[in-house]
Amino acid sequence: MHALVADLVLPSEASMYVMSALETSRELIRHSSYRYEFATVAVTHSLFALEHVLAERLAINEPLQDLIERAAEAGLITVELATELDRSRLLHDKLTQGIVTSAALGPARAIDMVCAVFDAVSLFLRPPSAADVAAVDMSGAQPEDQLARLWEEHRRALFPDSFRGIDIEGVELILLDTDVAGLVQRELNGGLDDNGIAILWACITDPDKIVPLINSGYCASYFAKLRTMAKLAAARCLPTAT
């Protein structure tokens, strides 16, 4: 097990709290060959460090799921890394709800998930560039431009063929893609009416539910971007404060 955790290097610039949480996660994995449940606990414990660093970097206090999404939308991490982090977050939620036990993961999968946290923490601890600061602005760094850019990327992206006709947790992926894409296009082409806005808000919870459950990197990334598009479009439909 020592060789398997060799790449889990503690970031020297981290606070004592973050270093302690990450070191504990690493050592739990190292000893998971003696106690299988330590692998799952290692993943959930690493999230303490992730949430702490994310909240500091973004200068906001929100649930971990929202912090991960904001970091991805701001370009601080890739969508793929955000999706892997969200899988860890979902595992934590299932543990607290009693849906799974501490034996949910084996050491190999736990190492991948903890590595993702180590990678993300290292990225978040880097000094922010001027572009990062602008991107993390609470205004969302020009959400209209973000939505138009994501829409153009989505139009060029290929739907993951192996997931045609597949539903996850009762959500049929091809229908979700069609519904959200159509609503986003209508919003960009002149705005949604009240019925369209209601349908869009109804669609938003589905990507949140399915993305962490998708076991294909490309498909997870595809629907994570779809989720971001839906939320940006919905934000444009909120009434402005007067």
Cα 101 to Cα 40: distance, rounded to the nearest angstrom? 9
pLDDT tens by residue, the chain, 242 residues: 556 677 788 887 788 888 889 999 999 998 888 898 999 999 999 999 999 999 988 888 889 998 998 888 778 888 889 999 999 999 999 999 999 999 898 888 899 999 999 999 988 887 655 444 444 444 344 556 778 888 888 888 888 888 888 989 889 999 999 999 999 888 888 888 888 888 888 888 888 888 888 877 678 878 888 888 888 888 777 654 44
Query: What pLDDT does residue 222 have?
Result: 83
pTM for the model stands at 0.60
pLDDT for res 134: 45
Q: Note the pLDDT of residue 94.
A: 92
pLDDT of residue 80: 86
Cβ neighbourhood burial of 119 (10 Å; 0-12, 13-18, 19+): middle
The chain-wide mean pLDDT, for the chain, equals: 83
Q: What are phi and psi of 24, to 5 degrees?
A: -60, -40
The pLDDT value recorded for residue 177 is: 92
Residue carrying structure tokens 């962490």? 212
The pLDDT score that the predictor gives to residue 107 is 87
Quick one: pLDDT at residue 221?
Answer: 77
Chain centroid offset of residue 186 CA? 26
CA atoms within 13 A on the CB side of 166: 13
Which of 63, 66, 86 shows the shortest CA–CA distance to 74? Answer: 66
pLDDT at 99: 92
pLDDT at 144: 62
